[in-house]
Structure 1
Amino acid sequence: MKRIVAKLHDFNELVMFQHSIFSLPFIFIAMIVAAGGWFGFSLLLLGILAAISARNFAMGVNRYADRDIDALNPRTQERPNADGRLDSTTILLFSVVNALVFIIVAYLINDLAFMLAIPVLAVLGSYSYFKRFSELAHVVLGISLGLAPLAGVVAVSESVPQWSVLLSLGVLFWVAGFDLLYSLQDIEFDKLHGLHSVPSVYGPKATLFISTLFHLNTVLFWWMFVWAAELGFFAWMAVAASALMLGYEHYLVRKDFTKIDRAFFTVNGYLGIVFLVLIILDQWVR
């Protein structure tokens, strides 16, 4: 029993399950807006399964592809893929199983979700390889999480309305922007090992500037989302709260690079939750 618990702990550490908090709120935001409120327990369960299996697949592929790099980086040497607790075959099998779960769940949701399942997996699996030849990897990660709201609206309405595209573009720039900040930790390592990232190619000052531009786009697209979806007061409050939290994130990082973890995990984690709660309130009072 102890071995099973230990292995489950290793898998949890591999994919950092708790970081699902970044994509789940925006899936549910899209589903709530598409349904005009509650979308039902069946779609809630399927949505959670789809989100978790998709993220597990993406993280599994990432850890499989990066096992050699992670073993060299002092920041990542103790990850299960780097220290040998999980071998490459196990990680690959874990990724394949989660891909199959995602495809099955998509089939159970509707025809459009099923048709899009494999293209979505292809995008999710591509991020890990982009940084080996292009600093656009940050944007690819943003696209990967930006697919979450689109998946949510497809699950409910089997369509892709304009407002959902605007919401997704906001998520794209949000994620790409905070990934730029997070990658400031690995500037020297990336340079030494020939990995492509905006900080290693253009430096910290340019990275902070580009991240700021991305997060300004985030606020703009979320403002356009609320307008296009004809939402109310609490939705506008969600956009305002997001702007304040992103501003605080940049303040933390600019003040002290050692605060990157706090900015990345804490601020961004709360941002999604606050946005979701305010959207729920907005639908409740309408």
Structure 2
Amino acid sequence: MNALLNAPVAAPADASVSWVDRRAPAALRPFLRLARADRPIGFWLLLIPCWWSSALAAGMSANAGAPVALRALAFMALFAIGAVAMRGAGCTWNDILDRDIDGRVERTRLRPLPSGQVGLFGAFVFLGLQALVGLIVLICLPPFAIVVALSSLGVVVIYPLMKRVIWIPQLVLGLAFSWGALMGFAALLEQLPPAAFLLYAGSILWVVGYDTIYAHQDREDDEQVGLKSSARLLGTATRPWLAALYAGAVVLVGLALTSAHAGPLAYVGLIAFAAHLAQQVWRLDIDDRALCLTLFRSNRDAGLLLFAGIALAALLA
């Protein structure tokens, strides 16, 4: 333990060398790791549903011409800033609640809190600063979008506790990480049409699927410390369940595109998205931790393929 406490810039076991280790000031590195700035995949996965909904809502308002395109770009930029801040805040909150458990898991034992690189008070101050950035972004949105955004806070707060309570905590993560699928509609249209809820439901299934892949890295450790996860629940049956989750996601997103009267290129993006998810199912080996991490991270590319199709369809509209 003394060795850990005397290593203020040690990287956690679940992180590779990143820009944080190479370029960030030493004093800031533990806080940046607390926010997972060294692993931007979480930021992307939180942001992509925001961009899906923004592009789809812009396409629904295409008759407004250039003004709606500029508003969509402005909101997408705000969502990017908000995603960085709120993903960091969520990770900080998660680590505050899990600091004792993280110290007993090989992959997480060198995270800033369990290793002593950041104290509990410092973590709460850092959490408050990130929440302040999120608040600044929030007040730049229309009133209806502010209400929709605030409605997600309950789910965000309870998610870290769900692994102690239910066998599929990934479902609660899906509810939180998919909220952006509502936000583009709330900001641009100031309403939530049926397409918003279909897109949200599809995103939830996508999140449950990819986070189940991720959870297989911790399957044995979770069993030892008594935590629940979809990886432990499904075990060797993960592949068919993953196929079903991803198929459901594709169908629901397709229905959202139809409801929004999206153009043909949106469906090209959906086909590319579906093909990417299919190869994840095909390649999955739940006992290969490195492959599970690779497949999990590849969902950024899957999500961006779908976004590209929706965005191009909106531009042509």
TM-score by length of 2: 0.82
Runs of 4+ off more than 6 Å? none
Distance in 2 separating the partners of 1:237 and 1:56: 33
Deviation for aligned residue 1:30: 1.2
- Give the counterpart letter for 1:70 in structure 2: D
CA-to-aligned-CA distance 1:31-54 (integer Å, 9 cap, x gap): 122123624354343222322222
User: Aligned in 2, Cα 1:118/1:94: closer, same or farther, shift over 3 Å?
Assistant: farther
Deviation for aligned residue 1:3: 11
Match of 2:166 in 1: 134
- Give the counterpart letter for 1:32 in structure 2: A
Contact 1:54 1:121 in 2 (8 A): no
User: Aligned in 2, Cα 1:279/1:203: closer, same or farther, shift over 3 Å?
Assistant: closer
Distance in 2 separating the partners of 1:72 and 1:124: 24
CA-to-aligned-CA distance 1:61-83 (integer Å, 9 cap, x gap): 11111111111111112222332
Match of 1:11 in 2: 31
* Equivalent residues in 2 for 1:78-117, closer than 5 Å: 78-117=110-149
Distance in 2 separating the partners of 1:122 and 1:44: 24
* Equivalent residues in 2 for 1:37-52, closer than 5 Å: 38-40=69-71, 42-52=74-84
Structure 1: state its 5+ residue gaps.
none
User: Aligned in 2, Cα 1:251/1:12: closer, same or farther, shift over 3 Å?
Assistant: farther
- Give the counterpart letter for 2:48 in structure 1: P
CA-to-aligned-CA distance 1:181-220 (integer Å, 9 cap, x gap): 11112222111111111232x3512333322221111111
- Give the counterpart letter for 2:34 in structure 1: L
Deviation for aligned residue 1:4: 7.0
User: Aligned in 2, Cα 1:94/1:280: closer, same or farther, shift over 3 Å?
Assistant: same
Distance in 2 separating the partners of 1:24 and 1:3: 25
Distance in 2 separating the partners of 1:3 and 1:242: 34
Contact 1:57 1:125 in 2 (8 A): no
Match of 1:246 in 2: 277
Match of 2:155 in 1: 123
Q: Which residue of the other structure, out of 74, 78, 95, is the alignment partner of 1:63?
A: 95
- Give the counterpart letter for 1:254 in structure 2: D
Greater Rg over alpha carbons, structure: 2
- Give the counterpart letter for 2:132 in structure 1: L
Contact 1:234 1:281 in 2 (8 A): yes
Match of 2:256 in 1: 225
Match of 1:175 in 2: 207
Match of 1:26 in 2: 49
Tell which deviates more after alignment, 276-285 or 98-107. 98-107
Structure 2: state its 5+ residue gaps.
1-21, 63-68
- Give the counterpart letter for 1:30 in structure 2: S
- Give the counterpart letter for 1:208 in structure 2: R
Distance in 2 separating the partners of 1:104 and 1:209: 43
User: Aligned in 2, Cα 1:238/1:210: closer, same or farther, shift over 3 Å?
Assistant: same
**Aligned residue-pair number:** 283
- Give the counterpart letter for 1:210 in structure 2: W
Match of 1:35 in 2: 58
RMSD (Å) for aligned C-alpha atoms: 2.2
Distance in 2 separating the partners of 1:118 and 1:232: 32
Deviation for aligned residue 1:255: 7.8
Q: Which residue of the other structure, out of 272, 275, 278, is the alignment partner of 2:303?
A: 272
Q: Which residue of the other structure, out of 235, 242, 259, is the alignment partner of 2:266?
A: 235
Give the SS at the match of 1:132: coil
TM-score by length of 1: 0.90
Match of 2:236 in 1: 205
Contact 2:168 2:229 in 1 (8 A): yes
Distance in 1 separating the partners of 2:216 and 2:286: 13
Distance in 2 separating the partners of 1:247 and 1:148: 24
Distance in 1 separating the partners of 2:218 and 2:78: 37
Name the one with the larger helix percent: 1
Same amino acid, percent of matched pairs: 26
